């Protein structure tokens, strides 16, 4: 099969097509003939050598795919050959065939193209787990999302609104802010020209945000403590602005804040299966009616994965970048 591998750590050009053997599914796993694969920021970090594949995972990049089941391993009862699925992969998505655990796959939502479906798993698993399971967002609460136009951000806006929250986001340009509000955000803050703490306070009548989804870290940590409500929950999913921070912990105590975080990729398949079950029950019906749909930025051929990474690193994209593998 054709796959795109990281020939050596470095810039986008190190992503090179090569020939590999088609992998074989072990017990509990399925082999997917990949039609489309999603591109995520963690793939960029892996390409640079900063985010190694967990033990046992493919060395190829690619955390999500959509395609057709080509073979099933022993003990898999849910899926049959020719079923159309999308799935979270522990790696190996940039290829014509990928292995996933059967419990980490979901049916292709009704009416979705493979490209649209490939744009779902990584951000939907991440947002569902961190905003709802970990952050405990409830209807009527306020959610603050940093990086509103990222793949993660565009998913968080839609899920937050669908489940009855007020959603405030931050983004770096007026165009990005406009895109977030078009998608349903109640208020988009241009963090280059406005202070997000002041705006969150103003929009919430001084109360602050109940849940904050943060991918920035660094000096945002102290500011998140200021922007959070009493009993607020701050969920860290990345530290693009720095992994080390100094903050006034008296705010954390006085407001009884919870500051937590997680990374999806190294979690056991059973945990991911639990997240998949929650998504299938509560979010897949919303996809079937297209009340929610991934925001598609650009699609590149698999062999030109380097262009997809270039686009992501330029930072002008809004929503998801996908590789066409068919
Ligand atoms: N913990 C987990 O389980 C998990 C899972 C998936 C992804 N993630 C993380 O979540 C983040 C979003 O992922 P994604 O795939 O949605 O990425 P993406 O589409 O590339 O979005 C990254 C966004 O971050 C914003 N940003 C803020 N500070 C930045 C900086 N210093 N450098 C670059 N961008 C910056 C950019 O928006 P502006 O232009 O508006 O600043 C951009 O929209 C990534 O950091 C990724 O590693 C975590």
What kind and span of H or E run contains 29?
strand 29-39
Q: Which two three-digit tokens encode residue 166? A: 């007020």
Q: Is 11 helix (H, G, I), strand (E, B) or coil?
A: coil
Per the confidence metrics, is the pTM higher than 0.85? yes
Phi, psi of 130 (to 5 degrees): -80, -35
Distance 56 CA to ligand 1 centre (A): 26
Kindly state the average pLDDT of the residues 129-151. Answer: 98
Residue nearest to atom 21 of ligand 1 (CA): 150
Q: What band does 76 get if pLDDT is binned at 50, 70 and 90?
A: very high
Rounded mean pLDDT of the chain? 97
Instruction: For residue 209, report the distance from its CA to the centre of ligand 1, in Å.
Output: 20
pLDDT at 168: 99
Q: 40 C-alpha to center of ligand 1: Å? A: 9
Q: Is the pLDDT of residue 212 over 90?
A: yes
Nearest Cα residue to atom 32 of ligand 1: 240
Ligand 1 site residues (CB inside 6 A) read 40-42, 122, 126, 147, 149-152, 171-172, 176, 215-216, 237-238, 240-241, 262-264, 312, 315
> From ligand 1's centre to the CA of 74, what distance in Å?
37
Give 41 Cα–ligand 1 centroid separation in angstroms. 6
Q: For 205, how many CA atoms within 13 A lie in the half-sphere containing its CB?
A: 3
Q: Per residue in 298-309, pLDDT tens?
A: 999 999 999 999
Nearest CA to ligand 1 atom 18: 150
Assign 76 to helix, strand or coil: coil
Calculate what percentage of the chain has a pLDDT beyond 70.
100
Q: What is the pLDDT of residues 55-70, one digit of tens each?
A: 989 999 999 999 999 9
- What is the β-pairing status of strands 258-261 and 228-236? parallel
Cβ pair 76, 100 in contact under 8 A: no
Residue closest via CA to ligand 1's atom 37 equals 147
Q: Is 287's pLDDT higher than 90?
A: yes
Q: What is the pLDDT of residue 108?
A: 98
Residue 276's nearest CA partner among 129, 137, 131 is 129
- pLDDT at residue 2, as a whole number: 98
What is the side-by-side order of every strand in the sheet holding 142-146?
187-190, 166-171, 142-146, 209-214, 228-236, 258-261
| pLDDT reported for residue 326 | 80
Which residue stretches of the chain are H helix? Answer: 41-47, 114-118, 121-127, 151-162, 174-183, 196-203, 220-227, 249-254, 269-282, 284-288, 305-314
């Amino acid at each position: 099969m054709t796959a795109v591998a990281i020939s050596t750590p470095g810039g986008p050009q190190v992503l090179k097509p090569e020939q590999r053997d088609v992998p074989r599914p072990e017990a509990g796993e399925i082999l997917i003939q990949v039609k489309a694969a999603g591109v995520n920021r963690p793939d960029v970090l892996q390409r640079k050598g900063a985010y190694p594949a967990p033990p046992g995972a493919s060395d190829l990049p690619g955390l999500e795919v959509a395609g057709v089941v080509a073979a099933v391993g022993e003990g898999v009862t849910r899926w049959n050959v020719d079923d159309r699925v999308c799935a979270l992969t522990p790696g190996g998505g940039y290829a014509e065939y990928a292995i996933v655990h059967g419990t980490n796959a979901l049916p292709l939502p009704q009416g979705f193209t493979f490209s649209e479906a490939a744009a779902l798993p990584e951000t939907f698993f991440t947002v569902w787990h961190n905003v709802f399971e970990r952050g405990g967002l409830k209807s009527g609460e306020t959610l603050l999302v940093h990086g509103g136009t990222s793949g993660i951000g565009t998913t968080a806006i839609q899920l937050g609104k669908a489940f009855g929250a007020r959603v405030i986001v931050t983004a770096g340009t007026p165009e990005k802010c406009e895109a977030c509000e078009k998608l349903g955000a109640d208020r988009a803050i241009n963090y280059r020209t406005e202070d997000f703490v002041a705006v969150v306070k103003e929009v919430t009548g001084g109360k602050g945000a109940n849940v904050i989804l943060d991918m920035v870290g660094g000096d945002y940590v102290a500011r998140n403590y200021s922007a959070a409500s009493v009993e607020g929950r701050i969920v860290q999913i990345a530290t693009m602005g720095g992994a080390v921070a100094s903050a006034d912990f008296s705010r954390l105590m006085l407001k009884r804040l919870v500051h937590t975080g997680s990374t999806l990729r190294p979690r056991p398949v059973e945990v991911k299966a639990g997240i998949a079950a929650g998504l299938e029950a509560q979010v897949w019906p919303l996809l079937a009616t297209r009340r929610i749909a991934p925001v598609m930025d650009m699609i590149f051929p698999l062999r030109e994965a380097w262009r997809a990474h270039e686009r992501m690193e330029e930072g002008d994209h809004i929503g998801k970048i996908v590789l066409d593998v068919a």
